[in-house]
Amino acid sequence: MNIALIAHDKKKPEIINFTTAYGDILKKHQLYATGTTGKKIMEASGLDIVRFQSGPLGGDQQIGAKIANEEMDMVIFFRDPLTAQPHEPDITALLRLCDVHQIPVATNMAGAEIMIKALERGDINWRKNKKEMKDQV
């Protein structure tokens, strides 16, 4: 699966802890991240990550393009809801694309742990199910 990893500045330590704790699961998948988040995760965990621009410089939009092109399967985005973000419209657009394209998205540690455990068990077959639903219409 193609998994995007994003974190606001105050949430970067959390996503680093998350990716380190679940590195054995994540390393089996293609990982993508916004610039600074990806760099910090790679340094801390050793995971191989395709890095886009930093979020405020267009990284969120680059991930959004992957979603729109059906090239992203899951988004883990540790958001900081207590700090204003200068690129809030980009964040809103990214979350909207997840909803439009039925991409599972977790915006905090609890949701991310549920998704990663489901991924490990093989519970996440949504893309196959989505294709079957389209074929039936």
Structure tokens, 53: 């621009």
> Residue 40 burial (CB < 10 Å; 0-12/13-18/19+)?
middle
Rounded Cα distance between 126 and 61, Å, is 23
Q: Which of 9, 24, 60, 135 is catalytic?
A: 60
Structure tokens, 134: 């389209």
Active site includes 99? no
Give the residues across from 30 on adjacent strands: 2
Residue appearing with tokens 């680059």: 62
By three-state DSSP, how is residue 104 classified? Answer: coil
Distances (CA, A) of 18 to 14, 34, 112, 116, 137: 6, 16, 8, 10, 39
Residue appearing with tokens 């621009």: 53
> What is the set of active-site residues?
60
